Amino acid sequence: MDEYSRFVDWDKMDMSAQSQDTKDLTYTDFHELKQLARQGYWAKNHCLRAKVYHKLISNIPCRTVTPDANVYRDIVVKIIGKRNSSSLPLPEFMDNSLIPTYCLNAEGVGAVRKIILCIANQFPDISFCPALPSVIALLLHYSRDEAECFEQVCRILACNDPSKRLIDQTFLAFESSCMTFGDLVNKYCQAAHKLMVAVSEDVLEVYSDWQRWLFGELPMAYIVRVFDVFLVEGYKVLYRVALALLKFFHKVRAGQPMESDSVQQDIRAFVRDIAKSVSPERLLEKAFAIRLFSRKEIQLLQMANEKALQQKGITVKQKSCLLMFQQNVHLAVHAENFKSEIVSVKEMRDIWSWIPERFALCQPLLLFTTLEHGCSLSRFYSHSEGHEPTLLLIKTTTKEVCGAYLSTDWTERRRGGNKLSFFGTGECFVFRLQPEVERYEWVIIKHPELASTGSETGNHAQPASSSLSSSSIPSDPSDRLSPFLAARHFNLPSKTASMFMAGSSECIIVGGGDGQALYLDADLNYGRTSHCNTFNNQPLCSESFQISILEVWGFRD
């Protein structure tokens, strides 16, 4: 074969798709590289892929002092000596991860362990990195020797570009990535998320497996295609592929009984045997068809999740911390401590499964109810302000139940003075529980200036498309940030905020998803809904309704 075949067991490799044509890569433009990686330009030539990997990894910006091949040659004898590497204990940061063989020969399998031990010696700051064995095993396929592989992995680990995240190296980063993945599933794979909630007692535990699906269970022919694109586009690719895997799992297994007592095990088995149902090309096609948040936006979400974990004191993997974490997430709505006149414990838990993961750590706290505080909009504001986020629940006199998750503090309404001003973020959504359960994704109110009074709102304010008007979008697409996280948390410009919610002394407006909008009058006795007929879904509530009970819930640590 070629010079990069030292560690490969070619008898286990599928050579049918390999081409012996001598190709070279002359493209350097990022967009051209991205298209070539997605199309699998170097997937059919082992030597070309090795050269491309070397080029891409050598261009990763790294710390000034990053261990190289010479360092490996110096330390491997001291660390391993004449001992068999299989007899040496692996570092704790691997979290008992299995070492995938990826069609490596015996020398290659032993080399993975040696490189892991040398990396642990050179990177004492790594505290949690279960993906590392897979990355090393994969790169050994495209390395001339162990030292060269060691240097490539070190460059990936030592990347110091804050905008280019590659591999999680701490438990805080790993766990927050799992929460971020859960948030993305909640938004982009709602059918699959609904299934996970139905069949699993611990949804976050299922989503905490997402990196294992990629770096552990996914067969060699698939993960190497993912890695092609990962080296060009970065961490976001991993989210895309994991979401696609979950979508395919739901599509293939929908309506079928679970094969084991654990959906976690079922997903792992599905990913291991994915070749039975999905090709690598189809998997990537599905992954890149998902209109995911921008890289900048995902970074902000990751930051928010990390902050939530830090506030809970969960920064390292300790049994007591994890137990507390799981109890906070899954027992937040506890039957003994929760009492609502509108929703049951089960219904509140369903709502809790929709909210962002970082707030699912909190417990519900009743802030306002018309049964106790009366039907006064001013008292509604006085009890709700200072809390972020909040949950609005409404029960009508005809037994309909609907509500909204509101991501922003109602204090923001004061920015417009006496004028009705819109605010909120893309995490907001409205929902219906009775007569049927339905969650509506957010949209933006297109012409907030038309809704100056309650009556005008009812006649003119319209739910709009999912994009801001041209006057409010930054001219440079690279600076465009979808309205997702709270602007005040990250000092974002106001034009990135969603026109989702508004409040004045005369009314409340909540612009919902799929063309849904909710209007409440000043005495909190009556409300109206607006429904865009271009959508096939059922309306949020009756067009006009009388409120029986209204509750506002906050989130308590």
Q: What tens digit of pLDDT does each residue of 219-246 get?
A: 999 999 999 999 999 999 999 999 999 9
* Residue 331 per-residue DSSP state: S
- Give the pLDDT confidence score for residue 149 in this predicted structure: 97
Residue 276's CB is within 10 A of a number of other CB atoms, namely: 8
Average pLDDT over residues 200-222: 91
- Give the pLDDT confidence score for residue 540 in this predicted structure: 66
Instruction: Indicate the burial class of 323 (C-beta count within 10 angstroms; 0-12, 13-18, 19 or more).
Output: exposed
Confidence band, pLDDT 50/70/90 cuts, at residue 502:
confident
pLDDT tens across 165-175, in order?
899 999 999 99
First to last CA, the chain: 60
Q: Residue 414: CB partners within 8 Å, gap ≥ 6?
A: none
* Residue showing tokens 């990997």: 53
d(CA 449, CA 47): 61
d(CA 108, CA 145): 10
12 has a pLDDT exceeding 70: yes
What does residue 392 show for φ and ψ, rounded to 5 degrees?
-105, 125
279 has a pLDDT exceeding 90: yes
- Give the pLDDT confidence score for residue 224 in this predicted structure: 95
Among 135-144, 243-252, 416-425, which stretch is predicted with the lowest mean pLDDT?
A: 416-425
Helix axes 295-311, 236-253, angle to 10 degrees: 90
d(CA 301, CA 182): 11
* Secondary structure in 3-state letters for 105-155: CHHHHHHHHHHHHHHHHHCCCCCCCCCHHHHHHHHHCCCCCHHHHHHHHHH
The β-bridge partners of 551 are 369, 393
Asked if 116 contacts 136 with a C-beta cutoff of 8 angstroms, the reply is yes
Among 102-111, 154-163, 268-277, 438-447, which stretch is predicted with the lowest mean pLDDT?
A: 438-447
Asked if 507 contacts 519 with a C-beta cutoff of 8 angstroms, the reply is yes
Residue 335's CB is within 10 A of a number of other CB atoms, namely: 12
Sequential DSSP letters for 31-47: HHHHHHHHHTTTTT-HH
pLDDT tens across 302-324, in order?
888 888 888 777 767 654 444 44
d(CA 281, CA 244): 12
Tokens standing for residue 219 = 């067969």
Which spans in 189-219 are helix H? 190-199, 203-207, 210-212
Count of alpha carbons within 13 angstroms of residue 322, beta-carbon side: 11
- Give the pLDDT confidence score for residue 43 in this predicted structure: 87
Residue 418's CB is within 10 A of a number of other CB atoms, namely: 9
Cα of 434 vs its chain's centroid, Å? 29
Tokens standing for residue 91 = 């570092």
- Give the pLDDT confidence score for residue 52 in this predicted structure: 93
pLDDT top residue among 14 and 350 = 350
Average pLDDT over residues 64-74: 94
Tally of residues, the chain: 557
330 has a pLDDT exceeding 50: no
* Residue showing tokens 């433009």: 29
Asked if 392 contacts 419 with a C-beta cutoff of 8 angstroms, the reply is no
Average pLDDT over residues 275-300: 90
CA distances to 146, 183, 309, 318, 325 from 312, rounded to whole Å, are 41, 18, 5, 13, 8
Among 53-57, 404-408, 514-518, 545-549, which stretch is predicted with the lowest mean pLDDT?
A: 514-518
pLDDT tens across 451-466, in order?
333 333 333 333 333 3
Q: Which of 32-41, 145-154, 172-181 has the highest mean pLDDT?
A: 145-154
Q: Which of 362-371, 472-481, 492-501, 513-522 has the highest mean pLDDT?
A: 362-371
d(CA 67, CA 150): 8
pLDDT cut 70: percent of the chain above it: 79
- For residue 394, give the amino acid letter: I
d(CA 194, CA 330): 15
**Pick from 375, 410, 373: which is nearest to 391 by CA?**
410
Confidence band, pLDDT 50/70/90 cuts, at residue 492:
very low
pLDDT tens across 376-418, in order?
999 999 999 999 999 999 999 999 999 999 989 999 888 877 7
Sequential DSSP letters for 395-453: EETTS-EEEEEE-S-GGGGGGGTTS-EEE--TT-EEEEEESS-EEE----BS-GGG-SS
Does domain 171-326 correspond to CATH entry 1.10.472.80? Answer: yes
